[in-house]
């Protein structure tokens, strides 16, 4: 049995296989997930696991060089957005229209579905390199 880090096997495998520039989506429970993109469904009940909790766990194993969020998040989900900023740290954050965000999910290596029920609680993480 794995001793530390992410215990979810599909999520751990996806992160281990990511290269520079690959994209991983962390999504609320309502984001439509394209049929052609692997879904890692962590949602248990409304709010469990939460978006921020899932992001924090993933960031322990994924080198992130950039993030993309919906332009609507800072206004429509202000508290979530304010909590997101320190988690992302100095990573460049690009804001795009929500419809464009949904289109971009088609390019992701996977979408991680959380139990989050907050509007626009979605982020695309761009993988960086550790050297």
Residue in the structure block whose two tokens are 């921020």 = 52
Which residue in 7, 16, 20, 100 is the catalytic one?
20
Say whether 22 counts as a known binding-site residue: no
Residue 98 is assigned to a ligand binding site:
yes
Q: Which residues of 92-110 are buried (b: 16+ CB within 10 A; e: fewer)?
A: ebeebebeebbeebeebbb
> Is 122 labeled as ligand-binding?
yes
Residue 108 annotated among the catalytic residues of the structure: no
Please tell me whether 28 is known to bind a ligand: yes
Binding-site positions for substrate:
28, 98, 120-122
Binding-site positions:
28, 98, 120-122
Active site residues: 20
């Amino acid at each position: 049995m794995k001793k530390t880090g992410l215990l979810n096997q599909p999520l751990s495998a996806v992160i281990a296989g990511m290269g520079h520039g690959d994209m991983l989506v962390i999504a609320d429970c309502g984001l439509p997930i394209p049929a052609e993109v692997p879904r890692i469904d962590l949602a248990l009940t409304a709010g469990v696991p939460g978006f921020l909790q899932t992001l924090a766990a993933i960031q322990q194993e994924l080198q992130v060089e950039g993030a993309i969020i919906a332009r609507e998040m800072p206004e429509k989900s202000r508290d979530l957005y304010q909590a997101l900023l320190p988690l992302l740290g100095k990573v460049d954050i690009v804001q795009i229209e929500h419809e464009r965000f949904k289109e971009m999910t088609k390019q992701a290596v996977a979408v991680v579905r959380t139990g989050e029920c907050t509007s626009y609680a979605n982020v695309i993480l761009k993988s960086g390199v550790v050297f």
